[in-house]
A and B are shown apart, each in its own frame.
Chain A
Amino acid sequence: MIDRNLLRNTDWILIGILLLNSILGVAFIYSTSHYLPGNYYVKQIFWMVFSMIALFLFLCVDYSTLVTYSFYLYLVLIGVLGGILIFGTPIAGAKSWFKFPFFNVQPSEIAKIMIILLLANVFAKFRKNYLSMGKGLLSVSIIAVPAFLVALQPDLGTALSYIPILLGALFLAGLNKKTIIGILICGLLLGIFGWNIGLKDYQKKRLTALISPSQDPLGSGYHILQSKIAIGSGGFLGKGFRKGTQSQLRFLPARHTDFVFSVVGEEFGFIGVVLILLSYSFLIWRLFQSIGHARDRTGVYIIFMVAIMIAFQFLINLMMIIGLFPIAGIPLPLFSYGGSSLLTTYLGIALVLNVKMRRFANI
């Protein structure tokens, strides 16, 4: 099934950087949780192995086949997201997971892959220079349904993380001024509506905490403040591996998940931040650079949306931990503990590799 050509055209560099970042992630998960029960870093290694296998399996199927069946995959996704709301067991107050004996799966993460495939399908044959009303509304509703279901879990952060993918796709399809104004107005209305009806009090507090975190150091501003203290106290060279007092003494919240990069800042200082940032930038650059190797519009859309997905989660997470963005529960791809997020990133990369290795059309 996999012929030699395909193997030769596999982007091993991309897989390498993917692995490198995942392993660094495991190291930081170890640093922040080795004193906790639960063996988080072992679980993360298990997920890495599992995700890598999933990645190679994903390469076996031509992406055009996946895109062809994307609508059915999407229907399954909607079914699962609906089902989880009815049958799911809440963990930490949210029905976001399917519980299995040794691990939990978060379908809202993996949903990103289905969304990318279906959007790629929608835009595969779109040849106009600018986005049409029909395609625009269609793609908005493709995002809106799962986003709504995820927001009900409630997991607003993950629901919002679909938006960059949608906006990316729309941008690629071409936005004229009229459309941009339309999107802005819609966004504003949605924002006002959401603030007054949709947002819970704690979510509002997170937003106001952005403006003045020290006003209420033990409330909403606490997380941001402790994160900034961790990063700032790391200084230029850092406090050393496993020597970050903010994380080791548990002042830093969610330090092996959403705030894992604060630990990078604390234990390895500005130098560590620069190095990790460079390695992410290299990954993102490699993804964008792959766009040129896609054989068709479908491929371009897929690679672009995967790149957007990873890049924006990365940027938003970093903005979040230094108080430039509300704490929205967006994990750092590859670094934050969490199997579903890791698997989703791997599957996204798998799609990119898939497009790249099949760049030569078999005519």
Chain B
Amino acid sequence: MENNKAYEDLFLVQKRSKKIFIFIQVLSVFLLLNFWKIQVLDHKKYWEKSEANRTRKIVLLAQRGLIKDRGGTILADNKASFKVSIIRENCEDYDKSCRKISRLLMIEEDVLKERIKRYESFPVFKPIVIKENLSFEEVAVIEARKLEFPELFLQAEPKRFYPFGNLAAHALGYIQELSGEEIKNGLYKQRRLGDLIGKTGVEKVYESTLVGTDGESLEIVDSMGRSKGEIAKREPEKGQNIILTLDYALQEKAEEVLEGREGAVVMMDPQTGEILALASYPTFDPNKFIDRFTPEEWLDLINSSEFPLENRTVRGQYAPGSIFKLVIDLGALELGLVDEETVFTCKGEIEIYNEPFKCWIEKGHGEMNLIQGIRNSCNIYHYQVAKKMGIDEISRYAKMLGFGARTGIDLPGEKAGLVPNPQWKREVRKERWQPGETISVGIGQGPLMVTPLQVALYTSIIANRGRKVTPHLLNSQSLAGKRLFSEKDAVDIELSTFETVIQGMWEVVNKGGTGWAANVKGFDICGKTGSTQLVSTEKDKEKKVEEEEEEEEAKTHSWFTGFAPRDNPKIVVTVIIEYGGMGGATAAPIARKLFNSYRRKYD
């Protein structure tokens, strides 16, 4: 030892070391306070974050209920399909991510961004579907590169599939992705972004029955997103199946006979209101709507001048033409203005209220009674019936027989048509009713507008001799079909009145009348043809200018409506062919094929 003292004077260094010790203690207390804040004060926040870290909620999509025809043939089915969504929250760099995804999934970057942009306002953790109907290769690629793309979320979903393509497309409708607005306006509370819902047809009307309840699975995941097992699960509940009144074979036939034309067919059981076939042509393939990316065909469909999306059976409004003549015949008979033996003479032309009116045959039909008037569909005869009746009675009977009001069928967007009267003209057109218009309306022209389904209903009222039913697509035997199609009050017309008119209708088809082409041997068909001329009102005159160059034939819509058999009627067939020419020439032979098909199957 250098110094003499045994022990050094260490007072100063020891004092300094104590200062440091105090400093360390202060720091420790400061740290402890920080831990207190994180663990006790902010515990809830961090607990939630750790739960969010470790659990993943997976929606197990429920299958939509099937839609079957009356014989059990599946018209709307489900098939397995994969879709991939993006969770923006998980993107490290949104633009880079989009670029990489566009390469991975072969989607153009602009299309992808546009797609995501539509849902911009939704929370970033919500998955947005970017591609569906993935091929197995695509599924494999996404699965394999899961770690590289934490923002992608792969999901299996049962997908709607219409095995017969465009068969009954208008009746079935189609499903499409729920739009952002539809979610926000709260109509579909249980549904989520990207869910598919029925947009029209039966799919829409019975949405709540068809749609199931989605299940949910809560999984534990590790930091790499690998599942470590399920902790809770609620199985999805499949939507209920529904059975329709449609008959697959008749529907197929109805579409077959319409092919290449524009028109509609309604086949209905007059006693129950069950619709056996509901065809509108041109048509579309509802399978195409399920894709979330709008294909070009979709644009073609919307922009087509032939309106293939329009369901002509309930939304097409046409002048009824001669098929309306039965309305005034029924009314006039019932009111006692005419009877079976009332005779008028047709010379091919007549002047009423100082206006010339023509029959459809230039040389005229000659002398005839009411039944012959129906058989020949004579205009001159009916002008005089209409004149006797007056517009108020005509419109009253038209409404009684189902015109001017929705039939109440279980389809969305049904049109009501139009039954004009002086009051309507005053209020809507701000014009006075012209007496000549009564004459036009009497033969189904003028502002009168009807839908093919209304014509079918009207035919069934006649077939039932006054009993009115509600046309419907849902089979009452269907489990979901607890909805009752109430029978409305019977029409206030005598049975004998009906029998007279039905005799006329029978002769139309079976005794060389205008509808002879609809004749099916041994199947007592009663019917009525119609050919609408687009000439009588001023509004139609504008149309006429455009169509002047076309032939007269081409401008008429061709109608046929009828029922069979005459006693105890089983089937109503209504056909309209747009620009089809005379009813007897075009619509009647088509109706014949349909009656034939029905008879082969059911009679």
Q: Which residues of A contact B (CB under 8 A)?
A: 125, 129, 168, 171-172, 174, 218-219, 226, 228-236, 245-246, 249-251, 265, 269-270, 273-274, 277, 281, 284-285, 288, 291-292, 294-297, 300-301, 304, 307-308, 311, 315, 318-319, 322, 324, 361, 363
CB nearest to B21 among chain A residues: A288
Chain A residues near B40 (CB-CB < 8 A): 235-236, 270
Contact B8 A297 (CB under 8 A): yes
Closest 3 CB pairs of A and B: A232-B46, A233-B50, A249-B222
Partner of B12, one of A129, A236, A285, A301: A129
Which of B31-39, B168-176, B424-432, B578-586 lies at the interface? B31-39
Q: Determine which residue in B14, B17, B42, B228 has the highest number of CB atoms from chain A within 10 A of its CB, and name it.
A: B17
A294 to B13, CA, bound (A): 11
Please tell me which stretch of B22-30, B291-299, B363-371, B510-518 contacts chain A, meaning at least 4 of its Cβ atoms lie within 8 angstroms of it: B22-30
Let me know if A324 and B34 touch, CB within 8 A. yes
Complex contact B39–A318 (CB within 8 A): no
Complex contact A274–B50 (CB within 8 A) = no
**B156 sits at the interface (CB 8 A):** no
User: Would you call the interface of chain A mostly helix, strand, loop, or mixed?
Assistant: helix
Assuming the contacts A234-B39, A236-B43, A285-B21, asked whether A274 and B32 have C-beta atoms less than 8 A apart, the reply is yes
Residues from chain A with a CB closer than 8 A to the CB of B27 are: 315
Residues of B within 8 A of A284 (CB): 21, 24
In the complex, per-residue mask of B32-66: 1 if CB is within 8 Å of any chain A CB, else 0: 10111011101101110111011000000000000
B17 near A172: Cβ-Cβ < 8 Å: yes
CA distance A172 to B224 in the complex (A): 50
Asked if A322 and B38 make an inter-chain contact with CB atoms under 8 angstroms apart, the answer reads: yes
Most interface-central of A218, A233, A245, A363 (chain B CB within 10 A): A233
Known contacts A249-B54, A251-B223, then 15 further A-B pairs from the complex at CB < 8 Å, ordered by chain A residue: A219-B92, A233-B49, A245-B50, A250-B222, A269-B39, A277-B31, A288-B21, A294-B10, A296-B7, A296-B10, A304-B13, A308-B20, A319-B31, A322-B38, A361-B6
CB distance from A322 to the nearest CB of B (A): 5
Residues of chain A with a CB closer than 8 A to B51's CB: 233
B220 on the interface (CB 8 Å rule)? yes
CA distance A129 to B31 in the complex (A): 33
B545 at the interface (CB under 8 A from A): no
In the complex, chain B residues 82-129 whose Cβ is within 8 Å of any chain A Cβ: 92
Is the pair B14, A300 in contact by a Cβ cutoff of 8 Å?
yes
Q: CB within 8 A of B46: which of A174, A229, A250, A315? A: A229
Nearest chain B residue, comparing its CB with the CB of A164: B20
Q: Closest residue to A238 on the B side, CB-wise?
A: B39
Measured CB to CB, the nearest residue on chain A to B48 is A233
From residue B45, how far is it (CB to closest CB) to chain A in Å? 7
Does B482 sit within 8 A of A, measured CB to CB? no
A226 contact set on B, CB distance < 8 A: 53
Using an 8 Å CB-CB cutoff, how does the interface string of B211-245 with A read, 1 for contact, 0 for none?
Answer: 00000000011111000100000000000000000
Return B230 CB to nearest CB of chain A, in Å: 15
Question: Which of these, B18, B24, B38, B221, contacts A228 with CB under 8 Å?
Answer: B38
Contacts of B18 in A (CB 8 A): 288
Would B54 and A281 count as touching, CB distance under 8 A? no
Nearest A residue to B32 by beta-carbon distance?
A277
* A-contact 0/1 string along B286-314, CB 8 Å cutoff: 00000000000000000000000000000
Which of A232, A269, A311 is most buried by chain B, counting CB atoms within 10 A of its CB? A232
Say whether A273 contacts B223, CB under 8 Å.
no
Q: Within 8 Å of chain A (Cβ to Cβ): is B1? A: yes
Q: Which residues of B contact A251 (CB under 8 A)?
A: 50, 53-54, 222-223
User: Which of A236, A295, A311 has the most B CB atoms < 10 Å from its CB?
Assistant: A311
Nearest residue, chain A, Cβ from B46 = A232
Whether B16 sits at the interface, judged by CB under 8 Å, is yes
* A300 near B17: Cβ-Cβ < 8 Å: yes
Complexed CA–CA distance, A301 and B27 (Å): 22
Chain A min CB distance to B24 (Å):
5
Instruction: Please name all residues of chain B whose beta carbon is closer than 8 Å to the beta carbon of A171 when the two chains form the complex.
Output: 16, 20
**Roughly how many angstroms separate A319 CA and B28 CA in the complex, as a whole number?**
10
Once A249-B228, A250-B224 are accepted as A-B contacts, the answer to whether A304 and B50 lie under 8 Å apart by CB is: no
Smallest CB separation, B54 vs chain A (Å) = 4
Q: A171-B20, A308-B20, A361-B6 are in contact. Are A270 and B36 (CB under 8 A)?
A: yes
Alpha-carbon distance between A231 and B39 when the two chains are bound, in angstroms? 6
Known: A218-B92, A273-B35. A245 touches B10 (CB 8 A): no
Please measure, in the bound complex, the distance between the C-alpha atom of A226 and the C-alpha atom of B220, giving whole angstroms: 17
Question: Does B2 sit at the interface, judged by CB under 8 A?
Answer: yes
Q: Is the Cβ of A229 less than 8 Å from the Cβ of B49?
A: yes
Residues of chain B within 8 A of A307, CB atoms compared: 17, 21
- CA of A345 to CA of B492, assembled, Å: 108
Instruction: Report yes or no: B14 in contact with A270, Cβ–Cβ below 8 A.
Output: no
A231 touches B35 (CB 8 A): yes
Give chain A residues whose Cβ lies under 8 Å from the Cβ of B49: 229, 232-233
Find chain A residues with CB under 8 A from B45 CB. Answer: 232
B13 near A246 (CB under 8 angstroms)?
no
| A249 and B223 in contact, given A232-B38, A288-B18, A361-B1 (Cβ under 8 angstroms) | yes
Q: Tell me, rounded to whole Å, the shortest Cβ–Cβ distance linking A326 to chain B.
A: 16
B223 contacts A235, CB within 8 Å?
Answer: no
Chain A's closest residue to B49 (CB) is A229
Cross-interface CB contact of A318 among B25, B31, B42, cutoff 8 Å: B31
Cα A296 to Cα B18 with chains together (Å) = 17
Q: How far is the CB of A290 from chain B (nearest CB, A)?
A: 10
Across the interface, do B32 and A235 meet the contact criterion of CB distance under 8 Å? Answer: no
Q: Separation in Å of the B457 CB from the closest CB of chain A? A: 64
B42's nearest neighbour on chain A, judged by CB, is A232
Question: Which residues on A sit within 8 Å (CB–CB) of B24?
Answer: 284, 311, 315
- The minimal Cβ–Cβ distance linking A203 to chain B, given in whole angstroms, is 20
Q: Which positions 471-509 of chain B face chain A at CB distance < 8 Å?
A: none
A172/B13 in contact, CB under 8 A: yes
Would you call A249 and B221 a contact (CB within 8 A)? Answer: yes
For residue A218, which residues in chain B have a CB less than 8 angstroms away from its CB? 92
What CA separation (Å) do A305 and B12 show in the bound complex? Answer: 16
Minimum C-beta distance from A232 to chain B (A)? 3
Cα separation A233 to B48 with both chains bound (whole Å)? 8
Q: Which residue on chain B has the smallest CB distance to residue A232?
A: B46
Do residues A235 and B47 form an inter-chain contact, with CB atoms below 8 A?
Answer: yes
Residue contacts A-B, CB under 8 angstroms, 28 given: A171-B20, A172-B13, A172-B16, A174-B16, A229-B46, A229-B50, A231-B35, A232-B42, A232-B43, A232-B47, A233-B51, A235-B43, A265-B35, A270-B40, A274-B32, A277-B28, A277-B31, A285-B21, A288-B20, A288-B21, A296-B10, A297-B13, A300-B10, A301-B13, A315-B27, A319-B31, A322-B35, A361-B1
CA A229 – CA B17 in complex, angstroms? 36
B6 near A363 (CB under 8 angstroms)? yes
Roughly how many angstroms separate A281 CA and B7 CA in the complex, as a whole number?
A: 29
Contacts of B54 in A (CB 8 A): 245-246, 249, 251
Complex Cα spacing A171 to B6, Å: 25
Q: Bound state CA distance, A255 and B309, in angstroms?
A: 62
Residues A235 and B39 in contact in the complex (CB < 8 Å), given A168-B20, A291-B14, A361-B1: yes
Do A233 and B6 form a contact, CB below 8 Å, given A251-B222, A274-B32, A300-B13?
Answer: no
The answer to whether A125 and B39 touch across the interface, beta carbons within 8 angstroms, is no
Determine the distance from Cα of A234 to Cα of B47 in the docked complex, in whole angstroms. 7
Q: Is the CB of B10 within 8 A of A230?
A: no
Which chain B residues border A269 with CB–CB below 8 Å? 39
Inter-subunit contact B1/A363 (CB<8 Å): yes
Chain B residues near A232 (CB, 8 Å)?
Answer: 38-39, 42-43, 45-47, 49-50
User: Is A229's CB under 8 angstroms from B34's CB?
Assistant: no
Q: Is the CB of A250 within 8 A of B223?
A: yes
In this complex, what residue of B is CB-closest to A291?
A: B17
Contacting pair A233 B14 (CB below 8 A): no
- Per the bound structure, the CA–CA distance linking A322 and B36 in Å amounts to 11
Question: How far apart sit A246 and B48, CA to CA, in the bound complex (Å)?
Answer: 12
Q: How far is the CB of B138 from chain A (nearest CB, A)?
A: 25
Contact in complex: B46, A233 (CB < 8 Å): yes
Chain A residue nearest to B228 in the complex (CB): A249
Closest A residue to B12 by CB, please name it: A129
Q: Chain A: which residue is nearest B224 at the CB level?
A: A250
